[in-house]
Structure 1
Amino acid sequence: MSITPFQALACPLDGDPLQRNGNAWRCAAGHSFDIAKQGHVNLLPVQQKRSGDPGDSKAMVAARQRFLDAEHYQPIADALSQAVLKSFPTDATLSCLDAGCGEGYYLRALAKAASEEQALALAGLDISKWAILAAAKQDKGASWLVGSNANLPVQPGTLDRLLCMFGFPVYSEFARVLKPGGMLLQVDAGPDHLRELREIIYPTLKPERTREFQMPQGFTRLHTETIRYPLELNGADSIADLLAMTPHLYRASAEGRAEAASLESLVVTVDVRLVHFSRNTQQAEC
């Protein structure tokens, strides 16, 4: 297995290709983005921020890292890695971006799953500087980028695979950066995901909304996998980490958070959907 940083970066200000020059990435117009000492680069201009510190907080990132390092979501990572690597020739370099990568868990799992003959060019992007800092500290093989899914700093038509894990898909951008025939692998929560925890922290659960699926422009849906299993959490810290790494922490009532904090064990249902999309061979207008 050979892991190389993804090189086809684009300037977030004008879209021109970026070239590495020493400890910075620069475009032809002279825009320059320094590489941090940990190895990552910030490609999120201030004018594209909605707040001074967007995305997950440092505490949320730390909670997610502890939870994922305990391999609670290993079956999801295994299914995702298999989908990414399936049918890709071993004599070619597979380029893959995780759009909303958090602290890099799923890209690290992908690297471990690849065969010795497989070459991977990996990039992880997240709007949270704390997430990218954590990812860069753990892995030096991939390119780690602070950036936004709404304006991916990636050159058009350069990706074989794009991952969107419990994130915010921007299909027009995903279609722009994927090669024709490339794959988007999207993971979202199913109707029963973490139901037992949600029943504790909310007074009532809202009924699931049924809405007709609309195919994203530029894509064809190949198929959908369901990954479902019971997860036993032992210890208040593990339960606290699960709650802290999700938006449920801020949506829950004070009483619900207190009840969850009093638990020493909890069995929750993991229920997610892994959707395989193919980028249409005819590029859509962007």
Structure 2
Amino acid sequence: MHAVSTRFYYTELKGVRLCPWKSLSASKAFDCSSHNSSHNVAYRCPTCAEALRVLDKHTLKCDSGHTTLRAKEGYVHLLPSGRKAPVNAAGDSSEMVKARRRFFDAGRYSFVAEELGHLIMALTGSCSEVALLDAGCGEGMYVGCVQAMLQGAGKACTAHGVDVSKTAIRMAAKRHRTVSFAVASSYILPFDDQVFDVVISVFAPVAAQEFARVLRPATGILVVAQPGSGHLLELKQLLYEDPALFSEEGIPQADLQQAGLEHVQSVRVERQVALPHEEALDLLAMTPYSWHAPVDIAKRMSREADFTISLEILLTAYRTK
């Protein structure tokens, strides 16, 4: 391991300093006694929005007769016919997805997935069943890890992941066989209202109203992971003379009110790692920075045996009203 340091910060909510996950107060965990989490979250037809029924292991069909075929890897394609996802939600390229998988396989973001899982376990409290959605799931690392952690803690977890990148979804479906994946947009989720207990969005576009629509009222939890101000600062310093820090603004208050969401808590997780040359290049390749990186960037990144980089992530939890 090349980890140098890890630090965790807990923000204050209503004047009370939040404790580490295991001692989180019961008031911040939702009470699921008033509902039963469904282990059969149905997809919506991308053409007419009616429920899709499973005819056999390869075919789904709605009452209007529209048919959707399941790919051999197990995922379904549910982007509305003739419609594309918004420009700001374009899927990652094949090269970006493959580089990210290699970087994740090296364990560099495992600490983020683990903290995400601990947070969700704490917020779901004594709930024995959790319906989980990862919106913008990429190659599925986060949803797979969170599902495994919830199940390891004795909670039944039905997990779904959606992403507009077919390459990423195909890769996710091959590896995470207990998660249901679909090629779909976070802005047009192919699910009925109020069917999920938890929605996570990790380094992905946040469609607050759409996420709130599919979350259960009063108890639904949305967790957003976004870059902290100093995230990847050393990489940006190689690319720009005066690199701007990431904004740490969460979901705007007006959007929260419109979506019927309220802030619960925020956590900052930081780690510095020294990356071997190949992993440093994968880090660059998995980000949009690779699109306009100087041609000599690989040489500049290899001047030292290891490239030290700051990983800083904010986890913010919201609850439906």
Taking structure 1 as the reference length, the TM-score comes to 0.88
CA contact (8 A) 1:19 1:26 kept: yes
Q: Which amino acid aligns with 2:187?
A: A
- Could you tell me which residue of structure 2 aligns to residue 226 of structure 1? 268
Structure 2 distance, partners of 1:213, 1:17, is 30
Q: Which amino acid aligns with 1:131?
A: A
SS in 2 for 1:65: helix
1:215-261 CA distance string (max 9 Å, x none): 22211011110001111112x21011101111111133434465236
- Could you tell me which residue of structure 2 aligns to residue 284 of structure 1? none
CA contact (8 A) 1:5 1:141 kept: no
Structure 2 distance, partners of 1:212, 1:103, is 24
Greater Cα offset, 26-35 or 249-258: 249-258
Structure 2 distance, partners of 1:207, 1:106, is 25
- Could you tell me which residue of structure 2 aligns to residue 147 of structure 1? 184
Tell me, yes or no, if structure 1 residue 135 matches structure 2 residue 172. yes
Structure 1 distance, partners of 2:40, 2:50, is 16
Q: Select which of 36, 54, 64 maps to 2:71.
A: 36
CA contact (8 A) 1:6 1:143 kept: no
SS in 2 for 1:172: helix
Structure 2 unmatched runs, 5+: 1-37
- When residues 117 and 176 of structure 1 are mapped into structure 2, their CA distance, relative to the original with a 3 A threshold, is same
- The number of aligned residues is 274
SS in 2 for 1:137: helix
Tell me, yes or no, if structure 1 residue 16 matches structure 2 residue 50. yes
Q: Which amino acid aligns with 2:191?
A: V
Cα drift, residue 276 of structure 1: 0.4
Structure 1 distance, partners of 2:179, 2:250, is 37
- Could you tell me which residue of structure 1 aligns to residue 62 of structure 2? 27
Tell me, yes or no, if structure 1 residue 239 matches structure 2 residue 319. no
Identity %: 30
Taking structure 2 as the reference length, the TM-score comes to 0.79
Structure 2 distance, partners of 1:146, 1:212, is 26
Cα drift, residue 19 of structure 1: 1.3
Tell me, yes or no, if structure 1 residue 124 matches structure 2 residue 161. yes
1:130-189 CA distance string (max 9 Å, x none): 000000111211101100011000111000000100000111111111111200000000
Cα drift, residue 46 of structure 1: 3.7
- Could you tell me which residue of structure 2 aligns to residue 58 of structure 1? 94
Structure 1 distance, partners of 2:250, 2:129, is 37
RMSD: 2.2
- Could you tell me which residue of structure 2 aligns to residue 175 of structure 1? 212
Structure 1 distance, partners of 2:164, 2:178, is 20
- Could you tell me which residue of structure 1 aligns to residue 19 of structure 2? none
- When residues 219 and 62 of structure 1 are mapped into structure 2, their CA distance, relative to the original with a 3 A threshold, is same
Structure 2 distance, partners of 1:164, 1:212, is 12
Structure 2 distance, partners of 1:208, 1:257, is 23
